[in-house]
């Protein structure tokens, strides 16, 4: 059975539209009217450390939706087909291509300078890790054991922080320590001296990737659970939407209740951030699914598929452009839109 959730394309498109069109333009407008739009500006950028803004949902939602696709694209492996060598090669290919694209847009690969190369510093690479882990778990294990795996990954991250006294200092937390130890001079946020030999970690860079991959996988797994619920033909579509919304509310509440113990910090993908953002993702998916696939109300929304059906292409192009001034933001946002529009009309959809 081959299905395609139109709501998923539309929600993915909305995520990319916020990232590449609406957000940059509004951010540029906020610079021109800093006092009048003081309430809006903080929502269009990542929070400095603890807390959560609208802008912080873009990456978790991107990861979450990559997980939703797995039960649809790999259903045949749960219906009797045994995965063969081609399946694993395809997973490796996807892993490599996402890492490679991440190296191009944010890893400084095109500088052709080994010193400034960042092997793990991008959303696409976080998706790659989470997708491969989730795909393997989906194909080889039942939903019950997938949940067990998600809990173990989640617990492993929390335990790592618990063993260090729940230290969430931006430069001294265990996730940052692991990143510095593993990535060394190739971690993003490294500054090289003029002699080209010595280097130092810059305090302004606070993102972590290696240990955080545990929770990247949990976020994608949550999306996979949502996808399996959406494919459950035994329940009515309206009930599926309601059930997803219930899970979302529960995760948001738990994330907020645990926030005093382990703060919501996107930059290290903290456990509470994983729960809180995952809950919001469940709610957004439930709402979009109910409107688009249950009520069949697509008027005024279908155009978002221009972004949604070429999301990775949109992301890669957009990340290589600058949106500093208002004319620049409008020009580049329109450029990305019309490039995607041409691809959409020609039915050119680039998959990784």
Q: For residue range 295-322, list pLDDT tens digits in order.
A: 999 889 999 999 999 999 999 998 888 8
Question: Domain for residue 36, yes or no?
Answer: no
Residues near 321 by beta carbon (within 8 Å), at least 6 away in sequence:
332, 335, 336
pLDDT above 60 for 280: yes
Give the pLDDT score at 3.
59
Average pLDDT over residues 5-31: 95
Question: Domain for residue 26, yes or no?
Answer: no
Average pLDDT over residues 266-274: 97
Report the number of distinct structural domains present in the chain: 1
Average pLDDT over residues 245-253: 98
Stated pTM of the model: 0.94
Among the listed ranges 23-27, 59-63, 308-312, 348-352, which one has the minimum average pLDDT value? 348-352
Give the pLDDT score at 99.
96
Average pLDDT over residues 249-273: 97
Question: Domain for residue 136, yes or no?
Answer: yes
- Determine the distance from the C-alpha atom of residue 152 to the mean position of all C-alpha atoms in its chain, rounded to a whole number: 21
pLDDT above 80 for 271: yes
Residue 69, number of CB atoms within 10 A of its CB: 18
Q: How far is CA 319 from CA 24, 86, 249, 308, 312, in A?
A: 11, 32, 32, 16, 10
Q: How far is CA 228 from CA 15, 126, 232, 243, in A?
A: 22, 22, 6, 12
Question: Domain for residue 41, yes or no?
Answer: no
* 275 class by beta-carbon count within 10 Å (0-12 exposed, 13-18 middle, 19+ buried): buried
Q: How confident is the model at residue 1 (pLDDT cuts 50, 70, 90)?
A: very low
Give the pLDDT score at 219.
98
Instruction: Give the whole-angstrom CA distance, residue 199 versus residue 216.
Output: 29
Question: Domain for residue 64, yes or no?
Answer: yes
Domain range enclosing 78 = 59-296
Average pLDDT over residues 75-95: 91
Residue 299, number of CB atoms within 10 A of its CB: 6
pLDDT above 60 for 338: yes
Question: Domain for residue 309, yes or no?
Answer: no
Indicate the average pLDDT of the chain.
94
Question: Domain for residue 238, yes or no?
Answer: yes
Percentage above 70 pLDDT, the chain: 99
pLDDT above 90 for 69: yes
Question: Domain for residue 265, yes or no?
Answer: yes
Residue-wise pLDDT for 199-220, tens only, equals 999 999 999 999 999 999 999 9
Average pLDDT over residues 102-128: 92
Average pLDDT over residues 67-87: 91
pLDDT above 90 for 222: yes
């Amino acid at each position: 059975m081959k299905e395609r959730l139109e709501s998923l394309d539309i929600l993915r498109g909305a995520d990319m539209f916020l990232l590449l069109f609406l957000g940059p333009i509004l951010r540029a407008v906020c610079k021109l009217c800093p006092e009048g739009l003081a309430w809006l500006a903080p929502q269009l950028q990542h929070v400095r450390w603890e807390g959560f803004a609208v802008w912080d949902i873009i990456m978790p939602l991107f990861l979450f939706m990559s997980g939703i696709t797995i039960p649809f694209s790999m259903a045949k492996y749960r219906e009797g087909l045994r995965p063969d060598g081609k399946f694993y090669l395809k997973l490796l290919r996807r892993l490599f291509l996402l890492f490679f694209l991440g190296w191009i847009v944010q890893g400084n690969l095109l500088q052709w300078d080994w010193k400034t190369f960042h092997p793990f510093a991008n959303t696409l690479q976080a998706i790659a890790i989470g997708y491969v882990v989730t795909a393997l778990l989906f194909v080889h294990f039942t939903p019950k054991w997938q949940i067990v795996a998600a809990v173990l990954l989640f617990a492993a991250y929390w335990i790592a922080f618990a063993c260090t006294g729940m230290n969430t200092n931006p430069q001294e937390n265990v996730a940052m320590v692991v990143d510095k130890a593993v990535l060394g001079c190739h971690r993003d946020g490294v500054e090289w001296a003029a002699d080209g030999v010595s280097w130092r970690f810059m305090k302004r860079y606070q993102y972590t990737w290696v240990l955080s991959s545990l929770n990247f996988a949990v976020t994608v797994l949550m999306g996979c659970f949502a996808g399996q619920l959406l494919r459950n033909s035994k329940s009515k579509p309206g009930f599926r939407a309601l059930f997803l919304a219930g899970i979302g509310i529960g995760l948001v509440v738990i994330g907020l209740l645990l926030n005093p113990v382990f703060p919501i910090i996107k930059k290290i993908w903290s456990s509470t951030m994983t729960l809180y953002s995952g809950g919001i993702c469940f709610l957004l998916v439930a709402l979009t699914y109910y409107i688009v696939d249950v009520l069949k109300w697509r008027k005024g929304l279908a155009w978002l598929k221009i972004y949604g059906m070429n999301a990775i292409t949109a992301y890669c192009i957009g990340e290589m452009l600058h949106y500093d001034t208002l004319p620049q933001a409008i020009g580049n946002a329109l450029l990305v839109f019309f490039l995607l529009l041409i691809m959409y009309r020609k039915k050119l959809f680039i998959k990784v």
